Structure 1
Amino acid sequence: MEDQVLLGFIAIAIGVAFGILLFVPFVAISYRRRGRLGLGRTLLWLSALIYFWAIWTYTLLPLPDPDTIRCVGAITDPMSVVRDVQKAFAAPGNPLRQPALLQLVFNVLLFLPLGFFVRVLAGRGILVALAAGFGLSLLIETTQSTGVWGVYPCAYRFFDVGDLMTNTLGAVVGCTVALVVPRSLRGAEVRPDADLPRPVTRGRRALVMLCDFLGYGFLSMGAGVTVQVWLEFVVKDRAAVLDGTLSSAAATIVPSALFLVLILIGGRSIGDIAVQLRYTGSRLPAPFARLLRWAGGIGGISALQLPGGIFGFAAAVLFLVAVVLLFTTRSGRGLPGVLSGQHLVDTRADVAGPRPGARRM
């Protein structure tokens, strides 16, 4: 039981990690296809990510010690499922307490969410759910039968045709159950009102800040790791790798510079682009207003930390001011809007109407 709980935590941790990694593009796609970011649909996609990793953790982990594995064959008789059910009901007592029947029920339940996600998130029907269930189950069984694709000298878990059948059945059942979800909430097509402008709220501005923070963080991590790899394998300067000064500098300079270029050229940060907002209107020249916008955003605030000392303290103060201004300024235009004298608008305000031929999502 403790192993199952641990595997569950592993699946949740990996799913959340991938959710964070994919959050910014997910926000951008949601605003372009649905016109907004819905909490319910976001949680559904996160659940799908966690479910995907749960499938693999529960079917492959824990990986055994190669010295302790016992090689097994394959169960290729599809009638073994029928015999297991017959034995369970023929045995005295409650049939649901029979391990063989419980395994069959578990196999069905394990793939039930897959069919549900196929209909609700992808907008597909029974045939696609059947193919997805069979394909994923076949991939898992093949992975097991090949000893995790050669990692082990032989299969340590059975390739079971019965599992293919019950897993596929679970996906079909899940897709059928998903019919209770209103049609308007299913599918991945573009909504006909996706191009219509929506109110600029503090919530959207907070989402911009979150996307900017994540975007900056990934760029920073990528720059720092790249420099460390370059020092380790190209320059072969172990002392510089251990010192970390160059990688730390790159982790600040590179994302700050990229944010500066992005805002100076296009007038919008990563978060602005994702959430479809833009700053407009200022008595200042556009390049200067954009420079002030950058200075009041995460790129400028983070760059202020580079010299260290009192500048690091000033960066922390500015960050706190930015958070406060998010909740106290109109539409949450925040520190960038105050410094540049600009206000926020929805970028779709210039769009005449919905996209021709767009289908409801």
Structure 2
Amino acid sequence: MNIAVSTVLALTAGLLLNFLVLVPLIVASYRRSGGFSRTRFLGWVAAGFFFVAIWAYTLFPLPDGAYTCRSPIWNPLDSVTDVIRLQGESSSLLTNRAFLQLALNVVLFVPLGFLARALLGLGILASTAVGFAVSLLVEVTQLTGVFGAFPCAYRFFDTGDLVTNTTGALLGAIVGLLVMGRAHRGAADRLPGELIEVPVEMTLGRRLFAMVADLTMLGLVQILASLTALVLQGVFGVDVSASWTRSLSLVVAFLLQAVSVYAGGVTLGERAVLIRAREAEAVGFMGIIARRTARLLFGIGGFTLLALWEFGGLLQFVLGVTALVFAFRSSEHRGLGQWLAGSRPRAVEREEREARDVVRSRHR
């Protein structure tokens, strides 16, 4: 496999994994902080580039034809030994390949420790643990030949890399603590209260991200179904066709969205970013069901069902474009399904009222 194809495959797979992993993390941050400042948005973009780079670094270059299987390096001090050995051949560390490799492994994970602290608010130990876990995933991927995709490991599993990568994450977490310390100072002194939902302005960004979260959920259900089919086939010998697996995953995804919409008039993606529904008055129970059915079928629910139809791709495209147009052009950034159901999105944020306010409100 030539270098161009290797690069494209690594980056494509990395971008897909990055998308599926980062969206849930962004949702968690959205619910925690109520949105994105420009700084936080740039931080998440930086995190995206970091994980794509790590993914490409793990896989690239892919082997071209026959290759030599690599044995694990279990001694974490081997890299230090190489630095000392090569230093005897050179007077400068800047020309010592082993030292430069060691330093690169440390520097490579500094951004991860910093981002774990700055974006997720993790402590130093937790941020360092995240760095260790990511490094271990990288090394296991290499040890297993990308989890069985290749007959044997084409890159080294190196315990020394685990040490240097984790050290880099630790240094990044310390930097994050120093930079973010002022922003979080005083938070521990606040009295515990209770979470309340406070109405805020409905933004286009929040609306669009809700749509992205819905699509991500659909993709995650399909991936989970495919992995389940592989386990059934590999462990239990049950042969499950790809078409049946895909159809079942789409039905499950539709049912999950249906439960969410019928329960509160909003999709799972909207729930994730704290969007609530202000529904028009409906006559009786059946009126509510009819409006929420329209909300479901002309939104992500209909988009999901169309994937079951052989010729549904064009209609999916039309429905998706229409939903985007409505999100951009309609008042309060309503989607097509919301418009047909007479429903208006209402954005909220969760705030913690101080204990004295909670006590006062309960005694009124």
Do Structure 1 and Structure 2 share a fold, with TM-score over 0.5?
Answer: yes
Measured in 2, the distance between the counterparts of 1:221 and 1:34 equals: 29
How big is the shift at 1:276? 1.0
1:95, distance to aligned residue in structure 2 (A): 4.8
TM alignment of 1:250-265, pairs within 5 A = 250-265=248-263
Within the candidate set 99, 102, 121, 2:100 is matched to 102
Q: What is the Cα deviation at residue 196 of structure 1? A: 4.0
- Partner SS, residue 303 of structure 1: helix
Q: Give the structure 2 partner of residue 117 of structure 1.
A: 115
The 5 A counterparts of 1:150-169 are none
For each residue in 1:195-225, what CA deviation from the matched residue of structure 2 results, as whole angstroms up to 9, or x when unmatched? 5433112222222222222223433565578
What one-letter code is carried by the residue in structure 2 that aligns with 1:113? Answer: P
On the 8 A contact 1:32/1:194 being kept in 2, the answer is: no
Distance 2:86 2:299 in 1: 63
**Residue matched to 1:293:** 295
Paired AA for residue 278 in structure 1: R
In the alignment, structure 2 segments of 5+ residues that lack a partner are 356-364
Q: Which amino acid aligns with 1:120?
A: A
Identity fraction in percent:
30
Q: Map residues 1-361 of structure 1 onto 2, 5 A cutoff.
A: 12-37=11-36, 38-50=40-52, 53=55, 56-57=58-59, 74=75, 76=77, 80=81, 83=84, 87=88, 90=91, 95-123=93-121, 170-178=168-176, 181-183=179-181, 196-220=198-222, 222=224, 241=241, 244=243, 246-247=244-245, 249-284=247-282, 285-303=287-305, 316-348=317-349, 353-356=351-354
CA deviation string 1:229-253 (max 9, x = no partner): 989978869xxx48x4x55644544
Q: Does the Cα contact within 8 Å between 1:304 and 1:315 map onto a contact in 2?
A: yes
Q: 1:194 to 1:119 in 2, by over 3 A?
A: farther
Q: Match for 1:332: what amino acid?
A: H
Residue deviations 1:308-345 (CA, integer Å, cap 9, x gap) = 67x87666544433232222210111211221112111
Contact (CA 8 Å) 1:224, 1:250: kept in 2 or not?
Answer: no
Q: Contact 2:29–2:120 at 8 Å: present in 1 too?
A: no
CA pair 194-332 structure 1, distance change in 2 beyond 3 A: same
Query: Which protein shows a greater Rg?
Result: 1
Secondary structure of the 2:352 match is coil
Q: Distance in 2 between matches of 1:13 and 1:194?
A: 41
Aligned position for 2:362: none
Letter in 2 for 1:17: L
Structure 2 distance, partners of 1:62, 1:255, is: 37
Alignment correspondent of 2:360: none
How far off its partner does 1:274 sit?
0.9
User: Is the contact made by 2:225 and 2:249 (CA closer than 8 Å) also made in structure 1?
Assistant: yes
- TM-score, reference length from structure 2: 0.66
Q: Could you say what secondary structure the match of 2:277 adopts?
A: strand
C-alpha displacement of 1:178? 4.0
| Contact 1:228–1:247 (CA under 8 A) maintained in structure 2 | no
Instruction: Tell me if structure 2 keeps the 8 A contact 1:211–1:271.
Output: yes
8 Å CA contact 1:107, 1:167 repeated in 2: yes
Contact kept? 1:276, 1:346, Cα under 8 Å:
yes
Is the 1:249–1:306 Cα contact (8 Å) retained in structure 2?
Answer: yes
Indicate if the aligned counterparts of 1:88 and 1:96 stay in contact, CA closer than 8 A: no
Residue pair 2:73, 2:159 contacting (<8 A) in 1 also: no
- Normalised by the length of structure 1, the TM-score is 0.67
Alpha carbons 1:294, 1:336 under 8 Å: kept = yes
Bigger mean CA deviation after superposition, 254-263 or 327-336: 254-263
Over 3 Å counting, the alpha-carbon distance change for 1:137 and 1:221 in structure 2 is closer
Equivalent residues of 1:31, 1:275 under 8 A apart: yes
How far residue 144 of structure 1 moved from its aligned partner, in angstroms, is: 8.9
Contact (CA 8 Å) 2:214, 2:269: kept in 1 or not? Answer: yes
Aligned length, in residue pairs: 340
| Unmatched tracts of structure 1, length 5 or more | none
